[in-house]
Amino acid sequence: MSSIPKSTHLGHHVVIEDGVSIGENVVIGHHTVILQGTQIGEHVTIGSNCVVGIQPAANEKMRKESPTERNLIIGAGTKIGHLVSIYAGSTIGRNVFIGDHASIRENVHIEEASVIGRAAIIELNTTIGKNCTIQTQAYVTGDTTLEDNVFIGPCVSMSNDKYMGAQAYTLKGPCIKQGAKIGNNASLLPGITIGSNTIVGAGAVVTKDVDTNIIVAGVPAKEIDA
Amino acid sequence: MSSIPKSTHLGHHVVIEDGVSIGENVVIGHHTVILQGTQIGEHVTIGSNCVVGIQPAANEKMRKESPTERNLIIGAGTKIGHLVSIYAGSTIGRNVFIGDHASIRENVHIEEASVIGRAAIIELNTTIGKNCTIQTQAYVTGDTTLEDNVFIGPCVSMSNDKYMGAQAYTLKGPCIKQGAKIGNNASLLPGITIGSNTIVGAGAVVTKDVDTNIIVAGVPAKEIDA
Amino acid sequence: MSSIPKSTHLGHHVVIEDGVSIGENVVIGHHTVILQGTQIGEHVTIGSNCVVGIQPAANEKMRKESPTERNLIIGAGTKIGHLVSIYAGSTIGRNVFIGDHASIRENVHIEEASVIGRAAIIELNTTIGKNCTIQTQAYVTGDTTLEDNVFIGPCVSMSNDKYMGAQAYTLKGPCIKQGAKIGNNASLLPGITIGSNTIVGAGAVVTKDVDTNIIVAGVPAKEIDA
């Protein structure tokens, strides 16, 4: 049995599995499911109809993930919306905001005060620095690195597999350096680096590494004047 | 306590908070959560596992929204799918259709007979006219105006922040005039106006105002012959 | 009443309507809703907070779907994530994987061992062959055909209505031949055919039929050297 502090504000029909730890003054919405081993810091808010602490699954075709031994850890003061899914084996920092319908996979690390937008998806093995903003419906692929203060516009798309499943290949998402900003609906190809403080225009398709402190736009993306 | 008419068809484990009003012949699916102050018109249908009437939340980094005093109002005959989230302070007209997994923020006004597609997202302070169609996975950013009979194709993306969080700026989404049609996966930049009955091609990136009654396509979008 | 085998592993607050059939060794997560007539094969896993077996609905503006007489059929060994919606009248093959937040409409046929990514959406009247991969957030429009071994990258967008609702028109999505691969965030226009083993680059906008065994990229998409 999990021990639930008296200060917890629990909605109706909440399911809390065994081995869950809950800090003081936590709010959990109606119908939310907290799966085994989840650790929730103090003053965390979780909305209704969420599922958190999910163990990875796969079919034969997908890369095998052994069940993660690590728990989901949610830092103090973090706010999670409604209808959100989060996997075991990830660490969410303090004062993070996670929008409704968002999904965060296993082995993801999100540092403090970052914002994960509504319906945004963060795939496995990804690191997101401090004070990042990932906007609505953005897709952060697996094996990706976002340094601090990165801005990812709405509907940005990334990929991490050059051969689209056709060859053995070490999957590698983009590396986006400190303070870079990616415009809405831009597409980033596998393994590219976006330099610090660089701006990528809306709808750009970035096919290779981009220098620091410049602006790129177009298909394929090229440097433009500010 | 909320008073629930005898004609209501309630699923299992439905949660209805205080101060909710429900018209005659309403259907509410299993596990759906109706939060405080929601007003539901007659003959409204709401699917399973929805959360409606949500109060806005934010972390320190996001623009502060004071709790809205206004309720969520859902007009007669409107149909809402499954796994949908809708905020307080918005008004949904009569005979609107809202697809599964859609999300509608606070201070949104949707007029009668419009369709909000599956997994489409409508951000705050946005107005949508009559008989509009917002297709699947489309993203309508905050502070946006859609006049009547506008068509937004699947996966269309919009933005409302020219500086991507870097400067103080009055956020402003696109203004899309009567009868305009936006092709699938097009990207619209902040503050632009799309003229009435104009067509934007699939995948176009619209960087500035577009005249009435023309067709534009490409990156950046330019006028083409019909 | 539906008869539930003793080998079923049921979460809390699961709702199972009448006329549901469940094979041996099925797992159903917390708060999941199994609607009337759903047929679940043996060794199927369904996550928490899902809604499966949904009857189609529409408002006056949308194309009318008569209620489907056919049930939802889920093949043996298939794994379904959390917060998923699936409609009645569709057939999911054996050992399919369906990610969290995905949505599958009525009259869809998915053959064995295919993967439907997280938050991917498959619209009505669509056929997906064996061993296909539909990645995260991809949008497969209605009336679409994917042959075997097709790869659809993340955030790919398709459409099936040339006139965007303006004219009577037989809706027709793309036809994607055996082994073709579509890069992330590419846009496919209505009714086009992508030849077998052809590769479409990330962010491409495909406006007409594409031959077999080539690579296309750009806006509009043109053949490039490998």
The answer to whether B199 contacts C15, with C-beta atoms less than 8 Å apart, is: no
Distance from CA of C65 to the nearest CA of B (A): 14
Which pLDDT score, from 0 to 100, does residue A138 have?
98
Tell me the CA end-to-end span of chain B in Å, nearest whole number. 59
Chains in contact with C, counting 3 or more C-beta pairs less than 8 Å apart as contact: A, B
What is the separation, in whole angstroms, between the first and last Cα of chain A? 59
Task: Note the pLDDT of residue B65.
Answer: 55
The minimum CA-CA distance between A51 and chain C, rounded to whole Å, is: 7
Calculate mean pLDDT across residues B74-97. Answer: 98
Q: pLDDT band for position B64 (50/70/90)?
A: low
| Nearest-angstrom CA–CA distance, C167 and B79 | 25
Among B32, B86, B164, most A C-beta atoms within 10 A, so best to mutate, is: B164
Look over chain C and give the mean of its residue pLDDT values, rounded to a whole number. 94
* Confidence category of residue B70, pLDDT binned at 50, 70, 90: confident
Question: Tell me, what's the pLDDT at C16?
Answer: 97
Mean pLDDT in residue range B169-191: 95
A79 neighbourhood in chain B, CB within 8 Å: 57-59
Which residue's entry shows tokens 């077998």? C196
Q: What's the rounded Cα separation, in Å, for the pair A127 and A107?
A: 9
Cα–Cα distance measured from residue C40 to residue C29, given in angstroms and rounded to the nearest whole number: 14
Per-residue pLDDT band at C2 (split at 50, 70, 90): confident
pLDDT of residue B166: 79
What percent of chain A clears pLDDT 70, i.e. is strictly above it? 93
Q: What is the predicted pLDDT for the residue at C65?
A: 55
Give the tens place of pLDDT for each residue, C47-75.
Answer: 999 999 999 987 666 665 555 678 999 99
Q: Please indicate, yes or no, if residue B89 is contained in any of the structural domains.
A: yes
Contact C85 B97 (CB under 8 A): no
Contacts C139 to B, Cβ<8 Å? 136-137, 154-155
Which residues of A, range 128-167, sit inside 8 Å of C by Cβ? Answer: 137, 139, 141, 155, 157-159, 164-166
CB atoms B49 and C54 under 8 Å: no
Q: What digits encode the pLDDT tens for the residues A17-58?
A: 999 999 999 999 999 999 999 999 999 999 999 999 999 987
Q: Report pLDDT for B3.
A: 86
Instruction: Average the pLDDT over C22-44 and give the result.
Output: 97
B218 touches chain A (CB under 8 A): no
Helix (H) or strand (E) holding B158: strand B157-158
At residue C163 the predicted structure's pLDDT band, cuts being 50, 70 and 90, is: confident
Is 0.90 exceeded by the ipTM? yes
Q: pLDDT class for A128, splitting at 50, 70, 90?
A: very high
Nearest-Å Rg of the Cα atoms of chain C is 18
pLDDT of residue A225: 84
Is residue B131 domain-resident? no
Residue B1: the pLDDT is 64
Is residue A89 located within the same domain as residue A171?
A: no
CA B47/CA B84 separation, integer angstroms? 8
Chain centre to alpha carbon of residue A19: 24
Point out the residue among B82, B151, B155 whose CB comes nearest to the CB of C139.
Answer: B155
**Residue of C95, C154, C203 lying closest to A141 (CB–CB):** C154
User: For the domain that residue A30 is a member of, what is the CATH number?
Assistant: 2.160.10.10
Q: What would the mean pLDDT of A91-107 be, rounded to a whole number? A: 98
Q: Would you say the C-alpha torsion A87, B55, B121, B59 has a positive or negative sign?
A: negative
Answer whether C29 sits within 8 Å of A49, measured CB to CB. no
Q: Closest partner residue to B97 among C33, C59, C123, by Cβ?
A: C59
CA distances, C74 to each of A77, C9, C92 (Å): 41, 17, 5
Sheet containing strand B187-188, edge to edge, reads B157-158, B187-188, B205-206
Rounded to a whole number of angstroms, the CA Rg of chain A reads 18
Which residue of A45, A49, A203 is in closest CB contact with B187? A203
Residue of C124, C159, C162 for testing the chain B interface, max B β-carbons within 10 Å: C159
Q: What single letter denotes the amino acid at residue B121?
A: I
**C47 close contact with A: CB closer than 8 A:** yes
Give the mean pLDDT of chain A: 94
pLDDT at C82: 98
Tell me how far apart the alpha carbons of residues C198 and C217 are, in angstroms, rounded to a whole number: 11
Q: Does B205 touch chain A (CB under 8 A)?
A: yes
Query: Which of these ranges, A80-84, C163-167, C176-180, C215-219, has the smallest mean pLDDT?
Result: C163-167
Amino acid at B91: T
pLDDT one-digit tens code per residue, A194-221: 999 999 999 999 999 999 999 999 999 9
Q: What is the mean pLDDT of residues B87-103?
A: 98
Q: Do C85 and B100 touch (CB under 8 A)?
A: yes
Inter-CA distances, B220 with A155, A190, A205, C153, C224, Å:
18, 24, 12, 24, 21
A59/C96 Cβ within 8 A: yes
Q: Average pLDDT for residues A124-152, to the nearest whole number?
A: 97
Q: State the pLDDT confidence band at A63, using cuts at 50, 70 and 90.
A: low
d(CA B83, CA B103): 9
A71: DSSP letter: P
**What are the DSSP E strand ranges found in A73-180?**
73-74, 79-80, 85-87, 91-92, 97-98, 103-104, 109-110, 115-116, 121-122, 127-128, 133-134, 139-140, 145-146, 151-152, 157-158, 175-176
- Classify residue A170: in a domain, yes or no: yes
Cα distance between residue A31 and residue A41, in whole Å: 20
Choose the final residue of a domain: A57, A91, A107. Answer: A107
Q: In this structure, are residues C153 and C135 in contact, taking their beta carbons and an 8 Å threshold?
A: yes
Residue C36 at interface with chain A, using a CB cutoff of 8 Å: no
How confident is the model over B183-196, as a mean pLDDT? 97
Residue B66, CA distances (Å) to A63, A98, B57, B63, B199 in order? 45, 19, 9, 10, 38
Tell which residue, B164, B166, B205, has the closest CA to residue A187: B205
Query: If pLDDT is split at 50, 70 and 90, which confidence band does A70 have?
Result: confident
Q: Does B200 touch chain A (CB under 8 A)?
A: no
Arithmetic mean of pLDDT, B11-37? 97
Contacts A101 to C, Cβ<8 Å? 101
Q: Which domain holds residue B58?
A: 1-107
pLDDT at B68: 64
pLDDT of residue C167: 75
Q: What is the mean pLDDT of chain B?
A: 94
Which of B40-54, C1-15, C146-160 is predicted least confidently?
C1-15
DSSP assigned state of C210: B
Same domain? For A1 and A72 the reply is yes
- With beta carbons less than 8 A apart as the criterion, state whether A121 and A134 touch: no
- The shortest C-alpha distance from A87 to chain C (Å) reads 11
Mean pLDDT of C32-58: 95
Q: Could you give the angle at the alpha carbon of C128 between the alpha carbons of C97 and C76, nearest 5°?
A: 40
pLDDT of res. C164: 82
pLDDT at position C221: 97
Q: Is the pLDDT of residue B66 over 90?
A: no
Looking at the partner chain, which of B48, B95, B113 has a beta carbon nearest the beta carbon of C33?
Answer: B48
pLDDT category, A60, cuts 50, 70, 90?
Answer: low
- A180 within some domain: yes
Residues A1, A91 within the same domain: yes
| Cβ-defined contact of B136 to C121 (cutoff 8 Å) | yes
Q: What is the pLDDT of residue A66?
A: 57
Cβ distance of C101 and A123 shorter than 8 Å: no
B20 band by pLDDT with thresholds 50, 70 and 90: very high
Q: What confidence category does residue B163 fall into, taking pLDDT thresholds of 50, 70 and 90?
A: confident
> Residue A134: is it exposed, middle or buried by C-beta count within 10 angstroms (0-12/13-18/19+)?
buried
3-state helix, strand, coil in chain B (%, to 5): 0, 30, 70
In one letter, which amino acid is A21? S
Query: Which of B60, B85, B158 has the CB atom closest to A101's CB atom?
Result: B85
Residue among B154, B199, B218 whose CB faces C139 most closely: B154
**Cross-strand partners of A51:** A33, A85
**What is the pLDDT, as a whole number, of residue A170?**
81
Is B81 within the bounds of a domain? yes
A35/chain B closest Cα distance in angstroms: 18
Does the beta-carbon distance from A189 to C199 stay under 8 Å? no
- pLDDT at position B170 is 81
DSSP B143: S
CA distances from B210 to B123, B177, B184, B198, C114 (A): 23, 10, 17, 8, 42
In the predicted model, is pLDDT for residue C129 greater than 90?
yes
Answer yes or no: do A83 and A185 share one domain.
Answer: no
What pLDDT, on the 0 to 100 scale, is given for residue A120? 98
Both A100 and A189 in a single domain?
no
- The answer to whether the CB of B159 falls within 8 A of the CB of A202 is yes
Phi, psi angles (nearest 5°) of residue A68: -75, 140
Amino acid at B11: G
Q: Which of residues 80-139 of C touch A (CB under 8 A)?
A: 81-83, 95-97, 100-101, 113, 115, 118-119, 131, 133, 136-137
A124 assigned to some structural domain: no
Number of domains in chain B: 1
CA distance A53 to A32: 11
In a domain, A197, yes or no: yes
Q: Measure in Å the smallest separation between the Cα of C13 and chain B Cα atoms.
A: 8
- On whether residue B87 sits in a domain, the answer given is yes
* Chain B residue numbers touching C58 (CB-CB < 8 A): 79, 97
Q: Residue B164: which pLDDT band, with cuts at 50, 70 and 90?
A: confident
